[in-house]
Amino acid sequence: MEQVTQTKGVTPVPVRIGVDLGGTNIAVGLVDDGCNLLAKASVPTRAGRPFGEIVDDMAGAVQDLVKEQGLSLHDCTGVGVGVPGTCDGNTGTVCFAPNLFWKDVPLRDALHTRLGVPVHISNDANCAALGEQLTGAAKGYGSVICITLGTGVGGGIILDGRLFEGNRAMGAEVGHMVIDPDGPLCGCGRHGCFEAFASSTALIRQTRELMEREPDSGLEAFLKADGTVSGRTAFLAARAGNEAGARLVKQYVRYLGIGVTNLINVFMPEAVLIGGGISGEGEYLLTPLRRYVKEHVYGGNRAPEVAILKATLGNDAGIIGAAMLR
């Protein structure tokens, strides 16, 4: 165990184990049946290594954390893993996880062989959605759409209090709705996906393009220390009264609003949860987003109120949700 970040007193048994497998770190946690994160730790992923080595380290991190808490694997009812990619829920394989360079790897069986406890796997955005609904910002809402605005646009869908994953757990790709067929090329090969407009990657591209078109925009005052554009540049500029920044944010909120409204019209959830890096803008993002949705939702004033909230658990959501997979 290279790093233990949190430990809370004596651990009641049985516990569940959640793993948030990221491109940078493997975060593992012990979670009780009340969805409390009892202890967590992480080891580096070192993506690019052979599949078996990463699974070895994942199993090792789980065993170390369990041992450190004075427990054994017999005290654990199961392990859940959130994976940054598409999983086949039937076979327990990871179909495609680009950041790990994985294609069609038998993660569930490989981890089960090493640990001897039941293993469940799912997409990391699904796990985060489940965590937020069980014990985070969306607690108490039975139907929730979680949208993660990060490098991509991830989605997690909770219906009737349960994770909805689609056939073979391969649905919930809410970032891959085309919202403008003449829009920018998306990583998935289509043009104009929600993700190609509303991810932080997209906002960075939009900011760069505007800076090129309008060299006098004043946006360069809001770059990172190293002179590069980030997903915060446009927001920092807009908050400081920069007109170009305000235009970028307005356009970004419009695209985000189109995608969110589409999902509301289809699901009519009780809540929409916004997570990921850009959700850090808080009310500066959410207030205009709520206004957009209210003006555009199907049914207008007759539509039920949908709570639009900021995710609150951060990285813990993925660990807790993974632990609660079944």
Strand order from edge to edge, sheet including 3-7: 3-7, 37-44, 25-31, 15-21, 76-83, 119-123
Residues near a copy of itself (CB under 8 A):
86, 88, 95-96, 104, 143, 155, 157, 159, 164-168, 170-174, 176-182, 188-190, 254, 258, 261-263, 265-270, 296, 298-300, 302-304, 306
Residue that is written with structure tokens 């009812």 in the block = 77
CB of 206 to a copy of itself, least distance (A): 15
CA distance 192 to 133: 29
Q: Is the peptide bond before 14 cis (omega within 30 degrees of 0)?
A: yes
Q: How far apart are CA 177 and CA 187, in angstroms?
A: 13
Choose between 222 and 267: whose C-beta lies nearer to a copy of itself: 267
Give residue 53's identity as a one-letter amino acid code: E
Q: What is the largest CA-CA distance in the chain?
A: 64
Q: Give min distance, CB of 86 to a copy of itself, in A.
A: 6
Exposure of 230 in the CB half-sphere (CA atoms within 13 A):
15
Q: Is 211 left (phi over 0), alpha (psi -120 to 50) or beta?
A: alpha
To a copy of itself, the closest distance from the beta carbon of 232 in angstroms equals 25
The DSSP annotation for 79-118 comes to EEEEESSEEETTTTEEEEEGGGTEEEE-HHHHHHHHH-S-
Minimum CB distance to a copy of itself smaller for 4 or for 266: 266
Q: Of 239 and 247, which CB lies nearer to a copy of itself in the complex structure?
A: 247
We find the least distance from the C-beta atom of residue 120 to a copy of itself, in angstroms, to be 18
**Residue 171 or 314 having the CB closest to a copy of itself:** 171
The CB-of-147 to a copy of itself minimum distance in angstroms stands at: 12
- Alpha-carbon Rg for the chain in angstroms: 20
Give least dist CB 23 to a copy of itself, A. Answer: 19
Between 174 and 238, CB nearer to a copy of itself: 174
Q: Quick one: 68 or 270, whose CB is closer to a copy of itself?
A: 270
Please, what is the minimum distance in Å from the beta carbon of residue 134 to a copy of itself? 19
The secondary structure of 132-153 as a DSSP string is: HHHHSTTTT-SSEEEEEESSSE
Task: Give the whole-angstrom CA distance, residue 213 versus residue 4.
Answer: 48
**Smallest gap, in angstroms, from Cβ of residue 300 to a copy of itself?**
8
Pick between residue 156 and residue 318 the one whose CB is nearest to a copy of itself: 156
User: Which residue number, 41 or 306, has a Cβ lying nearer to a copy of itself?
Assistant: 306
Contact between 146 and 132 under an 8 Å Cβ cutoff? The reply is: yes
